[in-house]
Structures are given as structure tokens and as C-alpha cells.
Amino acid sequence: LKRVRDYRAVDDVTVTSEDDAPQLLKAVTEPAAGKAGTSLQLRLFAKDGNNDLDPQGVFLQDEASGQVLQAQSASEKGAEYLSVAIPLEAGRQPGQYNYRITAVDESGNVRYWKGIYTVVP
């Protein structure tokens, strides 16, 4: 299990077609920066040609903590998106931190997206 978790795949996998594979349109962090001891809400606006991207197939790995978090389906004012809560431990130092998203649709298409969030004092 450790070997699998440590494996760093870098290439997207396309089983059907590029048009059918998940595409990240926008990622928004709410609030824009967080304080240690709180959490950030990451909103992922994605498009999937086959409409078969289930929230259960979208994972965020926080590179600072190593924690893997699963997305949840959400909507606001008619806009549907995926939401991931990123907990910021009480001892987290201020700075910028990386995360990595893995999205696997039901057709087997895999996409990787990277992003940054900010912790303030």
C-alpha cells in the first residue's frame, strides 16, 4: 500500500477521447487565504464530455500534510461544482502550499491538476 501511495503518476490517461475527459475550468479557494487551525474550501468547476465525473472519483492530496481528501458535490446560485475542505492544522506555518487533484471519470479517463493555497498568520 505504501508503494502505491508513493507512486507519482505524471501523465494523464485518456480511454475515450480528449473531449470526453474531465477538464478543470476554474478552482476557487474560499476564503482566498486561511489561518492555521481553520479550513479552506476549494471549489472546483470542471467539465466532462460524457458527464460521468462523479465526486467519488475526485481526490485532493495536500502535499504539506500528505492527507488525501475526497470531493463532494455542491451547488450555489445554479452553478454546480465539486468542493473539498482543506483542514489547516493549528501549527501550520504561514506560506504557500501545494495540492494535487486526481480526477477519474467512470470511463477511466484520468486527469491531474495542481494548485496552490495560502496560509496567513
Contact 58, 2 (CB under 8 A): no
Which three three-digit cell numbers place residue 16? 475515450
Rounded Cα distance between 20 and 46, Å, is 12
Which range of 1-10, 13-22, 111-120 scores highest in mean pLDDT? It is 111-120
pTM of the model: 0.84
Rounded Cα distance between 62 and 20, Å, is 27
**Residue 120: pLDDT above 90?**
yes
| Each residue's pLDDT tens digit, 28-84 | 999 999 999 999 999 999 998 888 899 999 999 999 999 999 999 999 888 899 999
